[in-house]
Structure 1
Amino acid sequence: MPFKFNHLVQLLEDLNTARKQVQSSSTRHSRPADEIIIKWFSRHESDIVRHGPSAVAFLSCMLLDRVPNRVYGLREKSLASVLCKALFIENTSRGRQLHEWEATGLDFATCLEKNVMALAENDPPAAHREVTLEDIDAALRQLAANSKFASPEMRRHRDGVKSEISLRSILSRLHSREAKWFVRIIQRSYAPVQIPESLVLGCFHFLLPDILSFQNSIDEAVEVLGKPDLISIPHNPPSVLQQQYRQECARYLTPKLGVMVKRLEYFKARSIRHCCQMANLRTMSVERKYDGWYCQIHIDKSKGKECIQIFSKRGKDSTKPFILLHGALEAGLRLSHPECAITQNCILEGEMLVWSRSRQAILPFEKIRKYTQYGGRTIGAGGDSPRSSDEQLMIIFYDCLWHDNQNLVNEPHCVRRQHLEEIVSVTEGLAQLGDRREIRFGSASAKEELRKFFGYAIEQRWEGFVLKGRRDPYLSAGWHTNAIKLKKDYIKGLGDAADLCIIGGRKDPLEAEKYGGSLSWTIFYVACLQNKEVVQRFGTKPKFLILDILTRQTMSEGTFRELNQRGLGFCVPFSGSTEQMDVNIEQPGIMRQPPTVLFTKPFVVEVTGAAFTKTADVAYYALRFPRDVKLHFDRPLTETHSFEELQEMARESLMPADHEEQEDVDWILRLTEADGKSNRCVDLHAGGTPSPSCVSTASVSTCMSSPLTASRVDHVGILPTQSPLSNFSVAVKPDAKPNPKTASTWQSSPLALPANRAQPADESAALPPPINYVLSPGNGVKRNHEESKLPSVANKRPRKDSFKRLFIPLQSSLQNKTYAVHPYEPPAVFRSPTKSIEQTPSPFPISQQQKPLRELKNVTTKRGLEKLGSPRAESVDHGEMGTTKTVDEHVGNMSNEGQAPVGSAHGLDGVILKVMSFSALSPLDIKSVNWVTVVYAQLIDNVPSKLVRNTIYETVRTISKEYKRHRGTEKKRHRIARHAEDLEYQLQQPRQPQRRMILFYDEKIRSSFVDSSPDIVLKGAGDVLRKRQAKKYFAGALLMTAHEDTEDVVSRAIWDWHESVRLLNELRS
């Protein structure tokens, strides 16, 4: 018996009602969707046919994403015309209502229901004329077959009937409520209702999910269920019998030529540490992920010249659109040669890319669009350059699923790879095997090996990695055999980021329904300034270019709600030119759905994406997959990236780094930070404490000292066998005895040593005392220093200052060569350089009674510290002053000259110097104006870098956080002192606001001001930085003010050099 459409409509209405009830706070205990679907299947048990065309129609109407070959080519505008013709309302008020559906505030389908169909309901049809799912499926098949985007298989069913005639027989028998859901089937989405696919498949037949994994087509899966051996199997047997029935079905669970195999599923790794945990001691094939178009290639040599069939990522037959790839497939597989390794057939996986013969390189992702055609024309290539004779399509193969009637899906990856290597004839620029390396995650060196390999991959601008278990089958049986995907933008803080503006919004009624319908906007438009320079200089009206849209999925719910609330106060109707701004739109997709409102005060946001790309039909770069939106209410428009800056950032991020720059070193450091401080150097397999290497060169961790020869490398090309990190030597002062704990911390730390530390006279002076490793059955590895009498503590981790290498000090940059580490890029997980006051007690007992710091041998008392409530930063050797002279002594000298001391118990200087540690110059070094205003100077590397601003903002956040913590600590100590009636202790308060200015300059400034007398440069640094020739090295400035009545630090970022000089002069006066 055919299944009636109104039964499905009732299910959809029930799910929609339940969704609305769940959104209401007073009805949180409404029936969940799963319960509704299970009861619905039970209620219509006798009506559901589970074999034959009726089953295909049922599943095709229930699961719209399961029929990718049905492309109707009908958007709202064209669909409105077809429906008006089908209902004979072309020149009526109802027809105009449908064409103007956007003005009603309803979605298209709801507008058809309420403003068109409900005004003239059809008479209820007779029982034998009620619309069935078979009727709808047949009509939609014809609609797709007659579309100009139809696949070759669908074109065989063309009958030339117009779309309105095909739909008229259905619409004339539908109620308005049913018509709404019928239109949503044409739109290929039941939104806002969500139907859980796995639950529906399981309720229909428990074998269906297993069959679809091998033959990812409803038609083919239903055909398998209709096999004589399987047709008698019940759709929902007792669980004790299901395994037996699965064994009976096993011989049918094989791939089939011409039917797509389900794509491999991945788990996303959020850090190197997370990736190693998911690898779970497996030996993994770490393969390069290529940024191209996925292809599943079916070769059937029995078809002669038409033996190639290609499926796209979404399961569409793309054999004809990818016709230009056929030549590369024929060359790589040697299909016309007697040496061809394919005797009958095969199924391969690969990535389609564009190769440049002159550059001998793979071109960016957006270059592929102009080489594919759908319906006889290219899609999204309007802004791309024309095809070049120097370019050609190529294929990168990375898996083999079927070879000469042999099913390889259940075979381990190493076997599949062996078949792949036998089949593919590597031809540069046409057909190649993917770059990969095998890593044994059961070894101690695996974590560091993966980190170094990934750092190299980022340096070479690879998209990422895909990790497949050497012994794992293609289709995963659980999380322990799943493949892993590792990309830079998956790791927090490492994706490409840009400061942009949200300038407008739009409400999608369907999206608003998902979140309760009370939202003003569900889509936000992100843009960049096109005239930033004139806005900065003359305050002219800003001109914006809309780059992309942001939805709820790209930001947190709190950010989404806040944009809806704050935008209400300053929104105006959209216009290309308003009193507040001009707006340009170049993307056709955004032109079709422009903003409905503009915000007179745009929101400044920081947006993260997966690299840069040229979006469809435009010639400029924008962030790919923008997400992780962060609002910044304290930044003006002029502190965002302009269009020119964005393009420069894109070109820089896409250009592979020069090997001499050692950019991978910096990425390795940031990946280490992303793993978190608590597990930075711990070997997950050893179970003990991290052990620093005792050789003359310092390693990042124990893992780095392990040889890389244990792993296999295939087709990687130029890959450094040893990271430059392992060549960092430990530097100590020749006249000082190194602290064993400090030396070991330096040795095992992934952070480079400050460039301004004095180098030892000979190599032996740089070595820390020998370290003995004592094995304890209870506590693992302990470290005993021969020359230290300090007690050894089990599981002791060396401290690492994640902010120490962020900047390069001015004087050391003027005189010394620094390491090739980019100090301007912040770590992925930022931690304050000092620990909080209230910490959890250590679980290990202290072996000796604690002593005051002054009594320890490795601690030297510094003059001036006794008078201050908080310690200053460590001494900085600037060449001019003695190496033992501290910043506090400089402050004391200033006080002796008749000025009040800069420091106070909770002064801003102590916090700034503590945060910047080795990188801050003392006040005298740059000729401070007076004791209230102090100027610091910082040098950074590469001013145009995209992360300079993020680093400066990170500085503000860190100083503010540390200052607030410091104030809280002083107040707490003051309360304790008062409670103990210690009359000598008094809390010092700043008598007036403390104003500090930090200037940021490119470290290349040293090449412009170095002369024979470095003392002159040093003493005149404050004047040098104000000279006009220093303008081109200027990166930014910070003006920070602290008041005595608050714990907050008021900061202001300055990006204009002239303004920074003006403020500097004001401070002097």
Structure 2
Amino acid sequence: MDMDVQDGVQQITFSFQHPSENDLSRVHKSSTSSSHSPRAVVHRWIEALRRNYSPLPRGATASVLRLLFPEDDTQRKFGLQETLLAQYLGQCLDSSTVFTRDAKQLKAWSQESASGCLGEELLKYAVPGTENAIGPKSLQEVDALLDELASTSLFSDKSFHDGNASMSNTKRSKSSILRSLYDSLPAIDAAYLTQIILKDLRPLLYPPPSAMTSHALLAYNTRSKQVLTREQFMKAWDPSGSMIKMYKVRAKLDEAAMGFEAGGTLVTAHPRWGVPVEIPKSAKGRSPLHALELLDTDGQIWAETKYDGERAQIHVRFCEDGQVKIAIFSKSKRDSTLDRISVHSIIKAALVGMEKQDVILDAEMVAFSDERNAIDEFWWIRGLVTRTAQGARATMNLVVFSYMNRDSCPSLHSSPPDSLHLALVFFDVLLLGSASLLNVPYSIRRSMLESVIQEIPGQAMIAERSMVSGGSEVEDAAKNLWEIWAQRIADSQEGLVLKSGESTYGDWRLPWVKLKKDYVPGYGDTIDLVVIASSWEKDRARELRVSPSTLVTFYIGVLGNSSQCRANHTVKPHFVVYFTASYGLSREQLEEFNFWVRADAVEPSASRDELSYSYSILETLPQPTVVLQAPILVELCGAGFTKSPSSKVGIYLPITWISDRFEKYYELRFPRITKLFRSSERSFMECLTLRELQAIAYESTGREIQDADIYKDLDDWAKRLWGNGAAMDQERDQKGERRSKKHASLREEWQSKFENLDVQRAQSRKGRQEDVEMSP
């Protein structure tokens, strides 16, 4: 039988992405004409596809979606990034149709002289005359081989490991499957396939407009920011909108495709156990008044506490045999059921009084401290998951632990204390029995949540909320919100989420509105540190559409030996680098900063004796491209402080106050560079010291620096042993009183800030419309 014809239906060639057949790859072209908009381009492409391959084969919709939007193909994991895939490609590609040079050069895909895209680098190897060749493989054949490749990764969905009928009984190696995939492919097909495996088609569909930094950053046409979205494609493929509706309630590409092929509008979009529901985006509130104006309702408005944890969409099924099946999905729709197995017992206990029926719940997974009887900081969660996870990620954690526990990294001794454990804060219910609650108002969903969840102190809680408005004037509601938000900040909570009592789940008219202090310009946590190195980083570079010649990620240094420098002026300042910043600067500022850095840069391999300072970089950070001869002072803003799980690894710190146990260090969360200082304006020696940074972080997180004293328990024991218990109790009472006064002062300070902010915004925006920015 002809390979291109199966069951009497012509198969779609994989070369459908070939630019000679369609202009899908030219979506990035900037033009004032609407004919080059993503919507227009994709309409023409779909028309050509259906004209050439009508009727479309069964399953074609799912294959097209998976191959055009590989980043949304959450079920298939391939375990391949550029470095490893480049090694395989030398063994896979057909030298008669692709290779004209040594494949080893592919390893240089991210160097300054290259494109920064492994697929693009393959095109440089095309044999002349084969650029427009049509490959022999069908779309479905490539898709099936990618299924087989996914079966080699433990992180793929379990369906790829449970005897999937579409796969061969004899499991092949990754290299063997890759050879089958790339066999006889022309260069353009191989390029697209490469980026599909890497789950990122952006650099092929939307390449940098220029290899030159200045041109790419300054001559960038804002219209060229348009990219083809999943929603645009689904709307063009199915103008009835039924596919988009299905994806919102069953957020898997396969489910949306099957719903369309099964009859589109005839199939009801309804949540299903075991399939994630799309998490709606929230609007960013820039001030209390701005947040209330975004809701624009006369009904009730509630402010729910935004807890600092990991999103968990929990699916529970009660089986007839008494078994309880639990599936948990992360914010990215990844199946994290086994990662979070330690909360399964909490889920069952919280639902003990519920009628035995399917239920889908929204929750935040948090770290809870029994010692403090409170939710603890976000960064503990990773360690708690590592300690309790099962399945593939448990294996990965063991590998990472083994790597980090080498003799060169003697610091991995601490782990979450026994007083810490994972807990759940529930805040919504999406399905109950056979009834979808997505179109039910929030006020009713909240009541149903409270009837379903049995709270368990320290384990299962329902999100705290306060009424902001019961239909009152917006000015009165704003005053209430000032007080509520200030209270949450004083309590060291992450923020608030405003919800209208009338809103449905994912309601675009009455969206959820997030309020975080770093959403307000100038209100986030701001500190002065230095940049000592920089590099190109693919994810940030692809957002900006710049080539590897542009530095986009900056290595942030903290002064580690200020006391030695003060005592002896001949001692070089030593900077500790354990995190980076890639955001904050405008395109114009980034272009200028690239000029500054390049003018004063040396290779990382250059002798450190030539520098006016010394530095140590966390060994788990990527190697920088350049190092500055003189550090540059910068202002950074962040969303509070956190600790990286690897921030205590491989750092030498020549300062005496830090414990030899290499305790973890606080860093800014979501750091953004907001200001640059020339050396003539401010010296780099004005940056914070490591101790000052930790003190600020402790203050921001609601702790005292003494809380970090590892000998505290021993001191307490000694005082009581020698009869000083009463004095210690008095000291604790005094400390508690100081904290209470400090808490009240902080609340009043923020309440006043919010009042002034709203007054200023009301005066500055009269008659002016503001764009609404959405947050995932």
TM-score range, shorter chain: 0.7 to 0.9
Q: Deviations over 1:401-427 (max 9, x none)?
A: 111212211111111111111111111
1:84 aligned partner:
90
Distance 1:630 1:50, change over 3 A: farther
1:586 aligned partner:
618
The letter of the residue matching 1:672 is E
Q: Distance in 2 between matches of 1:544 and 1:3?
A: 57
Of 206, 215, 219, 2:254 maps to 219
1:5 aligned partner:
14
Of 274, 292, 297, 1:258 maps to 274
1:649 aligned partner:
696
Which residues of 2 match residues 459-538 of structure 1 at below 5 A?
459-476=490-507, 478=508, 480-508=509-537, 515=545, 517=547, 519-535=549-565, 538=569
2:3 aligned partner:
none
In the TM superposition, what is the alpha-carbon distance from 1:32 to its structure 2 partner?
A: 3.4
2:665 aligned partner:
620
The alignment covers a number of residue pairs equal to: 646
In the TM superposition, what is the alpha-carbon distance from 1:160 to its structure 2 partner?
A: 2.6
Q: Deviations over 1:779-809 (max 9, x none)?
A: xxxxxxxxxxxxxxxxxxxxxxxxxxxxxxx
Q: Deviations over 1:8-62 (max 9, x none)?
A: 232899465563656xxxx999933433222222222333767742211111111
1:331 aligned partner:
349
The letter of the residue matching 1:279 is L
Query: Alignment identity in percent?
Result: 25
Which residues of 2 match residues 684-833 of structure 1 at below 5 A?
none
Superposition TM-score, scaled by structure 1 size: 0.57
Of 195, 198, 201, 2:231 maps to 198
Question: In the alignment, is residue 188 of structure 1 matched against residue 199 of structure 2?
Answer: yes
In the TM superposition, what is the alpha-carbon distance from 1:396 to its structure 2 partner?
A: 0.7
In the TM superposition, what is the alpha-carbon distance from 1:578 to its structure 2 partner?
A: 4.8
In the TM superposition, what is the alpha-carbon distance from 1:648 to its structure 2 partner?
A: 1.5
The letter of the residue matching 2:71 is D
1:631 aligned partner:
676
1:1030 aligned partner:
none
2:771 aligned partner:
none
Segments of structure 1 that go 5 or more residues without pairing to the other structure are 232-244, 335-339, 685-1069
Question: In the alignment, is residue 675 of structure 1 matched against residue 707 of structure 2?
Answer: no
SS in 2 for 1:419: helix
The letter of the residue matching 1:673 is N
Of 561, 564, 569, 2:591 maps to 561
1:602 aligned partner:
631
Which residues of 2 match residues 111-510 of structure 1 at below 5 A?
112-114=121-123, 117-118=125-126, 130-156=136-162, 157=164, 160-192=171-203, 193=206, 194-206=227-239, 207-227=242-262, 230=263, 252-280=268-296, 281-302=298-319, 304-334=322-352, 340-372=353-385, 373=389, 374-377=392-395, 379=397, 385-440=414-469, 442-444=471-473, 445-476=476-507, 478=508, 480-508=509-537
Distance 1:342 1:145, change over 3 A: farther
In the TM superposition, what is the alpha-carbon distance from 1:462 to its structure 2 partner?
A: 0.5
Contact kept? 1:614, 1:622, Cα under 8 Å: yes
Q: Distance in 1 between matches of 2:345 and 2:690?
A: 40
Q: Distance in 2 between matches of 1:465 and 1:164?
A: 49
Q: Distance in 2 between matches of 1:674 and 1:481?
A: 23
Q: Distance in 2 between matches of 1:7 and 1:497?
A: 50
Deviates more, 1:663-672 or 1:563-572: 563-572
Q: Distance in 2 between matches of 1:431 and 1:282?
A: 30
Distance 1:306 1:509, change over 3 A: closer
Contact kept? 1:49, 1:55, Cα under 8 Å: no
Q: Distance in 2 between matches of 1:11 and 1:452?
A: 61
In the TM superposition, what is the alpha-carbon distance from 1:92 to its structure 2 partner?
A: 12
1:40 aligned partner:
45
Q: Deviations over 1:199-226 (max 9, x none)?
A: 1111111321111111111212222223
Contact kept? 2:247, 2:256, Cα under 8 Å: yes
Contact kept? 2:283, 2:513, Cα under 8 Å: yes
The letter of the residue matching 2:362 is E
Q: Distance in 2 between matches of 1:627 and 1:16?
A: 32
Contact kept? 1:264, 1:474, Cα under 8 Å: yes
Q: Deviations over 1:608-664 (max 9, x none)?
A: 111111123222211111125211221111111122211111111111693322210
Q: Distance in 1 between matches of 2:174 and 2:83?
A: 14
SS in 1 for 2:444: helix
In the TM superposition, what is the alpha-carbon distance from 1:570 to its structure 2 partner?
A: 1.2
Distance 1:331 1:48, change over 3 A: farther
In the TM superposition, what is the alpha-carbon distance from 1:542 to its structure 2 partner?
A: 2.8
In the TM superposition, what is the alpha-carbon distance from 1:525 to its structure 2 partner?
A: 2.1
Contact kept? 2:310, 2:330, Cα under 8 Å: yes
Contact kept? 1:20, 1:516, Cα under 8 Å: no
Structure index of larger Rg = 1
Superposition TM-score, scaled by structure 2 size: 0.77
SS in 2 for 1:467: strand
Contact kept? 1:3, 1:58, Cα under 8 Å: no
Q: Distance in 2 between matches of 1:437 and 1:511?
A: 38
Q: Deviations over 1:58-94 (max 9, x none)?
A: 11111123211222111222222322333499x9972
Contact kept? 2:540, 2:552, Cα under 8 Å: yes
Contact kept? 1:455, 1:667, Cα under 8 Å: yes
Contact kept? 1:105, 1:509, Cα under 8 Å: no
Q: Distance in 1 between matches of 2:70 and 2:460?
A: 35
Q: Distance in 1 between matches of 2:425 and 2:25?
A: 45
The letter of the residue matching 1:257 is W
Q: Distance in 1 between matches of 2:428 and 2:669?
A: 27
1:95 aligned partner:
103
Q: Deviations over 1:721-774 (max 9, x none)?
A: xxxxxxxxxxxxxxxxxxxxxxxxxxxxxxxxxxxxxxxxxxxxxxxxxxxxxx
Distance 1:211 1:390, change over 3 A: same
Q: Distance in 1 between matches of 2:595 and 2:33?
A: 25
In the TM superposition, what is the alpha-carbon distance from 1:670 to its structure 2 partner?
A: 1.4
In the TM superposition, what is the alpha-carbon distance from 1:569 to its structure 2 partner?
A: 1.8
Q: Deviations over 1:222-249 (max 9, x none)?
A: 222233xx26xxxxxxxxxxxxx5xx55
The letter of the residue matching 1:558 is E
Pairwise CA RMSD = 3.2
Contact kept? 2:292, 2:478, Cα under 8 Å: yes
In the TM superposition, what is the alpha-carbon distance from 1:119 to its structure 2 partner?
A: 5.8
Contact kept? 2:602, 2:626, Cα under 8 Å: yes
2:739 aligned partner:
658
SS in 2 for 1:482: coil
Q: Distance in 1 between matches of 2:557 and 2:550?
A: 20
Q: Distance in 1 between matches of 2:131 and 2:558?
A: 55
In the TM superposition, what is the alpha-carbon distance from 1:344 to its structure 2 partner?
A: 1.7
In the TM superposition, what is the alpha-carbon distance from 1:496 to its structure 2 partner?
A: 0.8
The letter of the residue matching 2:393 is G
Contact kept? 1:534, 1:540, Cα under 8 Å: yes
The letter of the residue matching 2:330 is S
Contact kept? 1:291, 1:364, Cα under 8 Å: yes
Q: Distance in 1 between matches of 2:524 and 2:635?
A: 12
Q: Distance in 1 between matches of 2:116 and 2:393?
A: 29
Contact kept? 1:70, 1:150, Cα under 8 Å: yes
1:1016 aligned partner:
none
Q: Deviations over 1:373-405 (max 9, x none)?
A: 443336588668324332221111110111121
Q: Distance in 2 between matches of 1:441 and 1:378?
A: 50
1:53 aligned partner:
59
